[in-house]
Amino acid sequence: MSMLLSLPVIWVALGSAVVALVAFVLAIVAMSRASGWKRRYLKAFANTDATVEEVVVASKNQAELAARTVQEMVLRVEQLESRQQHNFDKLGMVRFNPFGDTGADLSFSLAVLNDMDDGWVMTSLWGRDEVRVYAKPVEAKESRYTLSQEEKQAIDMAHSSRQRSRGEASRDRARDK
């Protein structure tokens, strides 16, 4: 009878040993994970005496401030883009010789337009005895005054041009090399 009683005790002892071993393995895994969290915690809170709650609130406040700043920047960019349409940044110039006897292209027509193709065209006619300068308003690539062929050509050049930023110009030069 003692043999029968000892058999279940062995099984109970073996079962207890297996449970203890599993608990030991789980404890090691939990300790390693806690160590990782501890490293991240110390890194996040280095050189501060703040609590977790204080750091979370400060981070939330910083995120809200960043979101407000981004929204303000979006509004400012929209305002700048709206104003940009009225800037005169499209230029076109044609040099020509209006008089056959002078032999030089010292006369010119210069068109200055904005994004809506409004602006002005200025023409300078150079002669041996005098220089004449004319300016005509331009609205949607047209003028209420009669335009010369050179003025029309300068307006067309301005319409299809746009001043490039320094970055665009340097990229184009680098690409052309």
101 shares a domain with 132: yes
On the question of pLDDT at 177 being above 80, the answer is no
Q: 49-89: per-residue pLDDT in tens?
A: 777 787 788 889 999 999 999 999 999 999 988 888 778 88
| Cut 0.85: pTM above it | no
Can you give the residue range of the structural domain that contains 14? 2-81
167 and 96 in one domain?
Answer: yes
Total structural domains in the chain?
A: 2
Phi-psi region of 136 (alpha: psi -120 to 50; beta: other; left: phi over 0): beta
**pLDDT confidence of residue 1:** 47
> Which of residues 81, 113, 132 is at a domain's end?
81
